C-alpha cells in the first residue's frame, strides 16, 4: 500500500510537472503573438504617419559601386513627381531624369558634398512632373548614416515648396520694385529739391527791385540749367523783346524744349537745349518734370512782367492824375481825405496837401447834407454822380460836377472812395443864360408864328378883292383895251394868283407848330393811298409810275405826314427828266426808328445845294422853269422836326434824287397787311 501510495504520489508530481511545462510554453507563445501584433500595429501607425507627412519620405543607399539606390520611398512621391510605382525600380535615375536641367548639376554636387563631408543632405531644386509637365519646387532634407563602415544611408523627406517659392519670388519682385521706387523717390525728391531751390532763387531775383529787366533775365537764364535733371549737358536761352539771354555754356542743338512767355507788350520764349543725347533716350529727349519746371518758371516770369507793367501803368496813371485838370481825391471808409492831386489844391485854393489831408470831406462843401448823401450812396450803390456847391479856402463857392466810385481790394472788400471834380460854374451860368435865351426865342417864335398866321390870314381878304376885280377888269375890258393894257392886266392877275399861293403856303407853314393835331397810330399805307388819290390827275397826265412797299404803323399827325408825302411825290413828278417819272416809296426798320425813302429818276440836285433846298422861300430854278413858292421842302422839314425826326437827300445832278426822313418808333410795331394797301 505504501509503495502504491508512493507511486501514486510520484505520478501525481510528474503530472503536475508536465502541466506546468505546458502552461509555460503556452504563456511564451502568447507573448510572441502579442509582440507580433504590437509590431504590426506599430507598422500600421508608421505607414499612417508617413502617409500623412506632406511630400514623400525616403531612404536612399549608397553601396560600394557608388550607385544610389532607393531603399524605401513613401506613396507621396507619385503625387509629387507624376511617376508611377513601376517607374521606381530601386534606382533614383527616374527621379534624376525629371530634375530641372538648370538644377541637375547642383543636385549631384550637393549629394557628393554630403558624402565627402559626412553631412546631412539639404537642397531646394526644381522638377518637371512626368504626367503634366508642371514645374515644381522640392525641398530635400535628410540625415546621413554610415552602415557597416562601408555603405551610406540617407533618411529624409521631399517636400513640395512650390507655393512657398512662388511667394518668395513674388516677394522678391515686390522688394525689387520697392527698392526701385525708393531709388526713384529718392531721385525724384532730390530733383524736386533742386527745382524748389531753382524757383526760390528765381523768385528772389524777380523780387529785387534794383535789377533792371535785362539784368533780371541774365540772372534767371544762368539759374535754369542747374535745375535740370541732366544739368551737365543742358543749357538755356530766354528770348524777349528781340533780345537773346544765354547761359554760360549755351550751345544750340537739335534736342530742345520751349515754352512761350506771353505779355501784353511783348512775346518771348524760354528754351532748354541738351548739348548731347541724355542716357535715358527711350523716354524721349526731355522729361515731363522738366517741362513742368519750365512752366513754373514761365509763370514766375509772366507775373514779374505783369508786375513791371503794372508799375509802369501806375507811374503813367500817377503822372496823368497829377497833370489832370480834374480834381481827384481818395477818401477812407470814415470819409476822411487820404489823397488829393495838384488840381484839387488849385480848385479849392490850398497851397499844400498838409492843410487838406486827414480832414473830413464834408468840410470842403457848402452843401454838407447833400455831400453826405452822395458819400452814403457811393458806399451803398458803388457809385454816384451829381452837381454840388463847393467851398474854397477863401470862403467863396463854386459849382462842381462830382463823379464818385467805391474802391475794392483783391478780396472785393470796400476800402474807400475815389472821386473826381470839375469846376462847371461857368458852364452852369452859361447854361442858365442859354435856357433863358431859348425861352425868349421860343416865345419870339410863337409870336412870329402867330404874326405869320394872322398876317397871312388877314391878307387873304384884300388879296381876294384885288384878284377878283383884276380878273373882272380883264373879262369886261379885254377887247376894249390896247395890247399893253391887256399885258399889264395879265401881269396883275398872275401876280395875284402867285400871292394867293404864297399866302396859302405861308399859312400852312405857320400852322405846323400851332394847329398840329396830337400824335396817334396811323397806317402809312392808308396815308399814301390818300396822297396818291389827291395826285391822281397829275400822275395820269405825266404817265408817272409809282412803286411802293408795305409801310408800317407809326405815331404821328396824320394830315402833316400826308402833307410831307404829297410834297415829296409832287416834287418828284415836277422835277422829272426826259423820261416819264418813276417813283419808289419804301421804309426800313431800325432799332428805334422807321426810315422812309422817296426815290425818283428826275433831274437830281447838286450836293452843294442840299442844305439850301430846305430853307423857306429858297428856289434852285426860275419861276418860268418850274412853278412853286419855295416853301414845300421847308414845310416838310418843319413837320419832320416836330415829330422828332430828320429829313435829308441823296442825289447827284442828272442822276435822280432820294429823299429820306425818319420818325422815332413808338410802342406800336404792327405792320399793315398787303390787303390794306391801295
DSSP letters, 288-352, are HHHHHHHHHHHHHHHHHHHHHHHHHHHHHHHHHHHH-SSEEEEE-TTSBEEEE-HHHHHHHT-SS
337-343 contacts: CB < 8 A, separation 24 or more? 337/361, 338/416
**DSSP code at position 91:** B
d(CA 18, CA 23): 9
Same domain, 402 and 470: no
How far is 581 from 653, CA to CA, in rounded Å? Answer: 16
In a domain, residue 45? The reply is no
- Of 264, 284, 309, the last residue of a domain is 309
Mean residue pLDDT of the chain comes to 79
Secondary structure of residue 120 in the 3-state scheme: coil
Do 569 and 525 fall into the same domain?
Answer: yes
Q: Is residue 521 part of a domain?
A: yes
Same domain, 529 and 671: yes
Report yes or no on 506 lying in a domain. no
- For residue 394, the enclosing domain spans 324-422
Total count of domains within the chain: 6
User: Which of 422, 449, 484 delimits the end of a domain?
Assistant: 422
Task: For residues 454 and 386, state if they share a domain.
Answer: no
- Whether residues 608 and 539 share a domain: the answer is yes
pLDDT number for residue 446: 66
CATH number at residue 376: 3.30.450.20
Q: Please write the tens of the pLDDT for every residue from 432-479.
A: 888 888 887 777 666 556 655 555 556 566 666 777 777 777 777 767
Same domain? For 261 and 342 the reply is: no
441 & 377 share domain: no
Residue pair 666/554 in contact (Cβ under 8 Å)? The answer is yes
Kindly indicate the confidence band of residue 27, based on its pLDDT and cuts at 50, 70 and 90: low
pLDDT at 25: 62
Q: If you average pLDDT over residues 601-607, what whole number do you get?
A: 81
- The phi, psi pair for 212, rounded to 5°, reads -75, 175
Both 106 and 130 in one domain: the answer is yes
**Residue 44 resides in a domain:** no
Burial 398-413 (b: 16+ CB within 10 A, else e): bbbbbbbebeeeeeee
Distance (Å, whole) CA 202 – CA 220: 6
Phi, psi of 615 (to 5 degrees): -95, 140
Which whole number is the average pLDDT over 335-355? 89
- For residue 161, the surrounding DSSP H or E stretch is none
* pLDDT surpassing 70 at residue 589: yes
- In angstroms, the CA 471 to CA 488 distance is 12
Which range (226-235, 439-448, 621-630) has the least confidence? 621-630
The owner of cell 413858292 is 629
Residue 235 covered by a domain: yes
- How high is the pLDDT of residue 245? 93
Specify which residues 72 forms β-bridges with: 59
Asked whether the CA dihedral 470, 471, 472, 474 is positive or negative, the reply is: positive
The pLDDT tens digits of the residues spanning 258-317 come to 888 887 767 888 888 888 876 665 555 677 777 888 888 888 888 888 888 888 777 777
C-alpha cell at 621: 430854278
Q: What is the largest CA-CA distance in the chain?
A: 242
> Cα(286)–Cα(269) distance, rounded to whole angstroms?
17
Q: How confident is the model at residue 4 (pLDDT cuts 50, 70, 90)?
A: very low
**Alpha-carbon distance 301 to 239, whole Å?**
12
Domain assignment present for residue 211? The answer is yes
For the record, the C-alpha cell of 579 comes out as: 423820261
> How are beta strands 582-589 and 545-548 bridged, if at all?
parallel
C-alpha cell at 388: 454840388
567 and 669 co-located in one domain? yes
Nearest alpha carbon to residue 245 among 291, 214, 209: 214
- Is 318 part of a structural domain of the chain? no
CATH of the domain at 203: 3.30.450.40
My answer on whether 642 and 559 are in the same domain is yes
Question: Is the same domain home to 529 and 610?
Answer: yes
- How many Cβ atoms are within 10 Å of 414's Cβ, its own excluded? 13
Domain shared by 414 and 436, yes or no: no
Residues 6+ apart with CB under 8 A from 657: 572, 575, 599, 600, 602, 604, 605, 649, 650, 651
CB 594 within 8 A of CB 587: yes
The answer to whether residue 586 sits within a structural domain is yes
- Strand, coil or helix: what is 39? helix
What sign has the CA pseudo-torsion 36, 39, 45, 49?
negative
pTM score: 0.36
Cell triple for 234: 543742358
Position 31 pLDDT exceeds 70: no
Q: Which helix (H) or strand (E) holds 68?
A: strand 68-73
Does 578 score more than 70 pLDDT?
yes
- For residue 481, pLDDT beyond 80: no
Q: Tell which of 364, 393, 422 closes a domain.
A: 422
DSSP per-residue string spanning 561-621: HHHHHHHHHHHHHHT--SSPPEEEEEEEE-SSEEEEEEEE-SS---GGGTTGGGSTT--SS
29 has pLDDT over 90: no
The pLDDT assigned to 194 comes to: 78
Amino acid at each position: 500500500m505504501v509503495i502504491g501510495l508512493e507511486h501514486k504520489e510520484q505520478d501525481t508530481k510528474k503530472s503536475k510537472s508536465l502541466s506546468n511545462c505546458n502552461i509555460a510554453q503556452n504563456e511564451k507563445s502568447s507573448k510572441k503573438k502579442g509582440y507580433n501584433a504590437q509590431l504590426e500595429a506599430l507598422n500600421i501607425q508608421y505607414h499612417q504617419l508617413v502617409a500623412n507627412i506632406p511630400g514623400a519620405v525616403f531612404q536612399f543607399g549608397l553601396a560600394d559601386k557608388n550607385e544610389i539606390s532607393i531603399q524605401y520611398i513613401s506613396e507621396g512621391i507619385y503625387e509629387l513627381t507624376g511617376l508611377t510605382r513601376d517607374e521606381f525600380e530601386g534606382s533614383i535615375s527616374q527621379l534624376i531624369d525629371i530634375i530641372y536641367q538648370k538644377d541637375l548639376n547642383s543636385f549631384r554636387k550637393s549629394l557628393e558634398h554630403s558624402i565627402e563631408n559626412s553631412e546631412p543632405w539639404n537642397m531646394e531644386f526644381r522638377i518637371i512632373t512626368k504626367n503634366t509637365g508642371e514645374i515644381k519646387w522640392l525641398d530635400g532634407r535628410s540625415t546621413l548614416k554610415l552602415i557597416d563602415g562601408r555603405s551610406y544611408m540617407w533618411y529624409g523627406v521631399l517636400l513640395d515648396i512650390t507655393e512657398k517659392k512662388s511667394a518668395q519670388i513674388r516677394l522678391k519682385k515686390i522688394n525689387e520694385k520697392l527698392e526701385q521706387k525708393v531709388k526713384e523717390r529718392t531721385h525724384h525728391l532730390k530733383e524736386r529739391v533742386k527745382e524748389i531751390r531753382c524757383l526760390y532763387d528765381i523768385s528772389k531775383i524777380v523780387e529785387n527791385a534794383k535789377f533792371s529787366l535785362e539784368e533780371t533775365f541774365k540772372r534767371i537764364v544762368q539759374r535754369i540749367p542747374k535745375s535740370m535733371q541732366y544739368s551737365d549737358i543742358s543749357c538755356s536761352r530766354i528770348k524777349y523783346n528781340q533780345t537773346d539771354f544765354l547761359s554760360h555754356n549755351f550751345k544750340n542743338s537739335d534736342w530742345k524744349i520751349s515754352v512761350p512767355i506771353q505779355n501784353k507788350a511783348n512775346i518771348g520764349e524760354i528754351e532748354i537745349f541738351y548739348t548731347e543725347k541724355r542716357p535715358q533716350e527711350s523716354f524721349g529727349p526731355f522729361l515731363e518734370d522738366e517741362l513742368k519746371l519750365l512752366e513754373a518758371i514761365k509763370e514766375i516770369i509772366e507775373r514779374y512782367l505783369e508786375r513791371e507793367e503794372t508799375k509802369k501803368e501806375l507811374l503813367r496813371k500817377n503822372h496823368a492824375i497829377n497833370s489832370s485838370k480834374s480834381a481827384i481825391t481818395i477818401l477812407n471808409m470814415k470819409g476822411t481825405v487820404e489823397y488829393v492831386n495838384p488840381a484839387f489844391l488849385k480848385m479849392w485854393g490850398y497851397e499844400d496837401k498838409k492843410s487838406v489831408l486827414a480832414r473830413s470831406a464834408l468840410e470842403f462843401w457848402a452843401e454838407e447834407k447833400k455831400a453826405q448823401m452822395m458819400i452814403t450812396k457811393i458806399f451803398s450803390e458803388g457809385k454816384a454822380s451829381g452837381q454840388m456847391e463847393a467851398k474854397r479856402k477863401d470862403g467863396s463857392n463854386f459849382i462842381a460836377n462830382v463823379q464818385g466810385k467805391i474802391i475794392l481790394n483783391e478780396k472785393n472788400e470796400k476800402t474807400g472812395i475815389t472821386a473826381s471834380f470839375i469846376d462847371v460854374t461857368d458852364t452852369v451860368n452859361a447854361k442858365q443864360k442859354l435856357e433863358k435865351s431859348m425861352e425868349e426865342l421860343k416865345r419870339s417864335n410863337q409870336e412870329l408864328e402867330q404874326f405869320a398866321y394872322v398876317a397871312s390870314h388877314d391878307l387873304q381878304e384884300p388879296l381876294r378883292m384885288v384878284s377878283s376885280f383884276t380878273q373882272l377888269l380883264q373879262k369886261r375890258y379885254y377887247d376894249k383895251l390896247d395890247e399893253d393894257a391887256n399885258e399889264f392886266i395879265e401881269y396883275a392877275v398872275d401876280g395875284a394868283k402867285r400871292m394867293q399861293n404864297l399866302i396859302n403856303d405861308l399859312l400852312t407853314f405857320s400852322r405846323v407848330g400851332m394847329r398840329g393835331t396830337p400824335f396817334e397810330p396811323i397806317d402809312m399805307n392808308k396815308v399814301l393811298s390818300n396822297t396818291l388819290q389827291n395826285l391822281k390827275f397829275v400822275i395820269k397826265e405825266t404817265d408817272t409810275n409809282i412803286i411802293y412797299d408795305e409801310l408800317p404803323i407809326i405815331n404821328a399827325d396824320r394830315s402833316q405826314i400826308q402833307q410831307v408825302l404829297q410834297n415829296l411825290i409832287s416834287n418828284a413828278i415836277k422835277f422829272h427828266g426826259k423820261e416819264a417819272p418813276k417813283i419808289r416809296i419804301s421804309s426800313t426798320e431800325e432799332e428805334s426808328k422807321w426810315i422812309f425813302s422817296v426815290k425818283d429818276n428826275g433831274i437830281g440836285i447838286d450836293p452843294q445845294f442840299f442844305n439850301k433846298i430846305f430853307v423857306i422861300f429858297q428856289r434852285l430854278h426860275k419861276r418860268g422853269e418850274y412853278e412853286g413858292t419855295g416853301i414845300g421842302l421847308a414845310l416838310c422839314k418843319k413837320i419832320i422836326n416836330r415829330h422828332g425826326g430828320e429829313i435829308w437827300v441823296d442825289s447827284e445832278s442828272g442822276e435822280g434824287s432820294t429823299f429820306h426822313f425818319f420818325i422815332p418808333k413808338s410802342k406800336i410795331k404792327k405792320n399793315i397787311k398787303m390787303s390794306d394797301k391801295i
